[in-house]
Amino acid sequence: MPADRRMETEGSAMMGERLCANCGMWSQVRVEGPGVPGIPGSPAQGECKRYAPHPSVGSGHRHVLWPVTAAADFCGEWVAKG
């Protein structure tokens, strides 16, 4: 296999490992499939804890929101779990 093609393949494998599901700053909040009400077959989702949460004010309630991502999303600031 030519060197440039080998690097391309190795890069793809590395990107495959840097998914939100494998990141230490991600925690799953919804399961895959029919566990998500009204969205059959939807991917697992979780909250990214890389940055501070965003405040959300409305209807008299104050709370914060963490960015929600799919488990299979690529993480640009991936950190190993553990």
Query: What is the reported pLDDT for 19?
Result: 92
CA distances from 17 to 35, 46, 49, 82 (A): 25, 17, 18, 15
Question: In this predicted structure, which of 2-16, 17-31, 39-53 has the lowest mean pLDDT?
Answer: 2-16
What's the mean pLDDT in 46-58?
A: 86
Q: 25 pLDDT exceeds 90? A: yes
Query: What is the reported pLDDT for 44?
Result: 83
Flag whether the pTM goes above 0.75. no
Burial-class residue 75 by CB neighbours within 10 Å (0-12, 13-18, 19+). Answer: buried
